[in-house]
Amino acid sequence: MAHLHSWPERIANREGDYLTADDLQDLIRYALSFQERLDLYQVLQQQELAWIEQVLQQHGYTGEAVSSLTPTQRLLARQLAFCLRSLGLSLLIGDPLPLQQWTFGAMEEYLGLPTALSQLRAVVQGSLPAEQWELLAPYWQLLQGVSATSPEAEAEAAPEPAPTLLEMFV
């Protein structure tokens, strides 16, 4: 699945025609990969808490009771879980749309999320076998693309100088 496309979008683009040979082959591969995608979805579901805890430890969480999390750490944990769940759903249904739509809002809510997602990616990649990571990697790239368009990434990319008083009132 090197190219991630929404199936409803692909079908709508055909405007009532038959699928192209390439689209048909992609659909066959997609259908045959269901069990593999389901297995990986379940791994994401089962490992979510452990992976998020590893990232939180990099942000000062000591591994004590969940009640010891700061409000910022709780928000980060919630947003990471939300991103992992969106990633898993997109993977399972083979459609990048949930990932694109849902996670952009998460990026806007929590500006530290792109950094934490990079840390989470390293944790997840280190935990999965290579074949499962290859299946998940295009969705992570999409997730990173969404985080690259977040306000934090834009602020880091090119900070604009503050306008002078003359520029503000002209």
CATH number of residue 59's parent domain:
1.10.490.20
Place of tokens 């590893």: 54
Number of domains the chain contains: 1
In a domain, 157, yes or no: no
pLDDT at 142: 85
pLDDT at 26: 84
Residue 105: exposure state from Cβ atoms within 10 A (0-12, 13-18, ≥19): exposed
Give the C-alpha separation, 155 to 162, whole Å: 13
In a domain, 168, yes or no: no
Prediction pTM value: 0.72
In a domain, 93, yes or no: yes
User: What's the farthest any 2 CA atoms get from each other in the chain?
Assistant: 64
Task: Identify the CA nearest to 118 among candidates 152, 80, 151.
Answer: 80
Print the domain residue range for 130. Answer: 7-147
Q: Take residue 84 and report the two structure tokens written for it.
A: 């992992």
Give the C-alpha separation, 65 to 50, whole Å: 14
In this structure, what are the phi and psi dihedrals at residue 155, rounded to the nearest 5 degrees?
-65, -35
Q: Take residue 144 and report the two structure tokens written for it.
A: 């990173």
C-alpha Rg value of the chain to the nearest Å:
19
In a domain, 1, yes or no: no
Task: Identify the CA nearest to 87 among candidates 35, 129, 126, 145.
Answer: 145
> pLDDT tens, position by position, for the chain (170 residues)?
445 667 777 777 878 788 889 888 888 888 899 999 999 999 999 999 999 999 988 877 777 766 778 888 888 888 889 889 999 999 998 888 878 776 665 555 555 677 888 899 999 999 999 999 999 999 888 887 765 554 444 444 444 566 665 555 55
Q: Is 6 helix (H, G, I), strand (E, B) or coil?
A: coil
In a domain, 154, yes or no: no
In a domain, 134, yes or no: yes
pLDDT at 131: 93
In a domain, 56, yes or no: yes
pLDDT at 34: 92
In a domain, 153, yes or no: no
